Amino acid sequence: MKREIKFSLVFRDMWQSAGKYVPRVDQLVKVAPAIVEMGCFARVETNGGGFEQVNLLFGENPNKAVRAWTKPFHEAGIQTHMLDRALNGLRMSPVPADVRKLFYKVKKAQGTDITRTFCGLNDVRNIIPSIGYAHDAGMISQCSLCITHSPIHTVDYYVNMAKQLIEAGADEICIKDMAGIGRPVSLGKIVAGIKKIKPDIPVQYHSHAGPGFNMASILAVCEAGCDYIDVGMEPLSWGTGHADLLSVQAMLKDAGYQVPEINMEAYMKVRALIQEFMDDFLGLYISPRNRLMNSLLIGPGLPGGMMGSLMADLETNLESINKYKAKRNLPFMTQDQLLIKLFNEVAYVWPRVGYPPLVTPFSQYVKNLAMMNVIAMEKGKERWGMIADDIWDMILGKAGKLPGELAPEIVEKAEREGRKFFTGNPQDNYPDCLDKYRKMMKDNKWETGEDDEELFEYAMHPAQYEAYKSGKAKADFLADVEKRKAEKENASQADDAKPKTLTVQVDGQAYRVTVAYGDIDLPASATDKVVMGEGEPVAAPLEGKFFLTKNTQETPRKVGDKVKKGDLLGYIEAMKTYNAIRSDRDGTITAICVNSGDSVSEDDVLMKIA
């Protein structure tokens, strides 16, 4: 009998690799005992990454959700682990150091044992502070190597990175094969190299099934000395998700490893509950295509965790392109055609922006940049026309050092626009902010919470937290669920073209929400729009959510403000990125036509400037 291999259930990532949302806290608490009863997991991934933003979108308190969700695993002696995006904490954009420190204290108090820290650029300067924060909080620091396949990302590159992290005090190493494109032989060599540096350091392998390598990769890393394997389970395994527990166990058992037995009665309970949650509402956000393996993913190398939301985004982007084509009597594009164009454009964009590992947030940045290019070119425009500020921060080095060199066309565009490159410590760009948020909470008469967890949540996710506190987040979420259910149930009925007004109850407060099917013009009273003024319209360049600001450092525009050409007016959040909207003329804002946080379609009028 060979040595023991332990399993970790990546329950959160299973859902986010399939679709947009994870289960509500009542659903999580319902499934936890059955997961424990399965008797085969040494670890369960309980939170991290987008998990807490999803809670806020539901209108749930994410801190209470984490405490309730981790509790049954602790009582059963199962370790819990979460994802930490290093400089970005739990969000898509960089986080001040004082918020990162508080993050660890809060998560330890809430019941999380292990933080799996990764930097989307593999810049160890962003990861090493988290090792200290974890140890100060009494947590295990598991540091990640983000695996991708390029001329730069060699076996020696990764072994050297692991060596730096081990020397900095990392307790464990995670091989984070987020797109599943790591080649099995190379992955085995990386694990062997790590074990040569420190034979007793635990190594955990995380991969996605999409391109088809990961069963071979699991066997290769186990042969090289890997200790823990991340697994998923039906009906959310394979495809953009992870290898299934049953298959991995059978393969490793046949190879002679000591692996845990599975209580199949409990397995079927968990499987049934997952399906129940999908039938409730979560399946409304899961594309059937995400169940499929796709070797086309080898080329673009997009991560499995992103593919779930990508397929939903494609529907919106395809609609935008086809609206343009319809107005000009051009042939419509199919989703398959758009997907291939996007994959090809990712392959074009990726090396030109310095080969950032395709993991959150940089996978989204590369994909979004590629998507914007595709949309622009389909509409007769040139590449690189819209680059969001967060993407510029990556390009300019503010988020860390890019592994490769930028293409001359990108450097020239930056210089032409007067943008400055940064080579210092990325954390220096983001000053401490907890005192400011503490004061804002006091002014709002909001409690900072047990272990300052509410303060942490506000500082980490300010816009989402405000929407949660106001009730708007839950109202919007419930309305969207109703819209999707109606579209699914009545797709063939002409009545779908009519708007419906719903009354949604949130904590005893009634909200009237208009749900539209198709393209209609809502009356001004439906969205409490500001009184319209005279002037030239500022149109939304893409579909998404409109925000006047993206953080509290910015001052929102108001009617009467004078602006110059190029001045920032606001943002549209689309595909997890804030895209800056700038004035194309000098003048005065005479009207702001949508509220901050409202959903907008392409070409909707955001403001008027005279």
Instruction: Let me know whether 273 and 383 are in one domain.
Output: no
**140 part of a folded domain:** no
Query: φ and ψ at 430, to 5 degrees?
Result: -130, 90
**439 part of a folded domain:** no
Query: φ and ψ at 41, to 5 degrees?
Result: -105, 125
**95 part of a folded domain:** no
What is the predicted pLDDT for the residue at 520? 37
pLDDT one-digit tens code per residue, 519-570: 434 333 333 443 446 788 898 887 788 888 876 667 889 888 999 988 889 9
Exposed, middle or buried: residue 494 (CB in 10 Å: 0-12, 13-18, 19+)? exposed
What is the predicted pLDDT for the residue at 505? 54
**Domain count within the chain:** 4
What is the predicted pLDDT for the residue at 497? 47
Number of Cβ within a 10 Å radius of residue 539? 14
What is the CATH number for 600? 2.40.50.100
Instruction: Let me know whether 534 and 575 are in one domain.
Output: yes
Instruction: Let me know whether 275 and 395 are in one domain.
Output: no
Question: Tokens 């860390």 sit at which residue?
Answer: 400
**456 part of a folded domain:** no
Instruction: Let me know whether 373 and 393 are in one domain.
Output: yes
**580 part of a folded domain:** yes
What is the predicted pLDDT for the residue at 516? 44
Instruction: Let me know whether 593 and 480 are in one domain.
Output: no
What is the predicted pLDDT for the residue at 504? 54
pTM above 0.85, yes or no: no
Across 52-159, where does the E strand assignment appear?
A: 79-84, 114-117, 140-146
User: Residue 484: which domain range?
Assistant: 472-520
Q: Last residue of a domain, which of 485, 520, 555?
A: 520
Q: CA-to-CA distance for 286 and 356, rounded, in angstroms?
A: 27
**323 part of a folded domain:** yes
**198 part of a folded domain:** no
What is the predicted pLDDT for the residue at 359? 80
Instruction: Let me know whether 375 and 481 are in one domain.
Output: no
Number of Cβ within a 10 Å radius of residue 276? 14
Q: Last residue of a domain, which of 271, 294, 317?
A: 294
Which two tokens mark 100?
């990162």
Question: Which residues in the chain land under pLDDT 70?
Answer: 1, 50, 299-313, 491-533, 551-553, 575-576
Instruction: Let me know whether 400 and 487 are in one domain.
Output: no
Instruction: Let me know whether 350 and 408 are in one domain.
Output: yes
What is the predicted pLDDT for the residue at 339? 84
What is the predicted pLDDT for the residue at 297? 73
Instruction: Let me know whether 66 and 17 are in one domain.
Output: yes
**509 part of a folded domain:** yes
Which two tokens mark 355?
């080969």
Instruction: Let me know whether 342 and 391 are in one domain.
Output: yes
Q: DSSP string covering 4-28, please? A: B-EEEE-HHHHHHTTBS----HHHH
What is the predicted pLDDT for the residue at 445? 96
Instruction: Let me know whether 424 and 300 are in one domain.
Output: yes
Instruction: Let me know whether 581 and 496 are in one domain.
Output: no
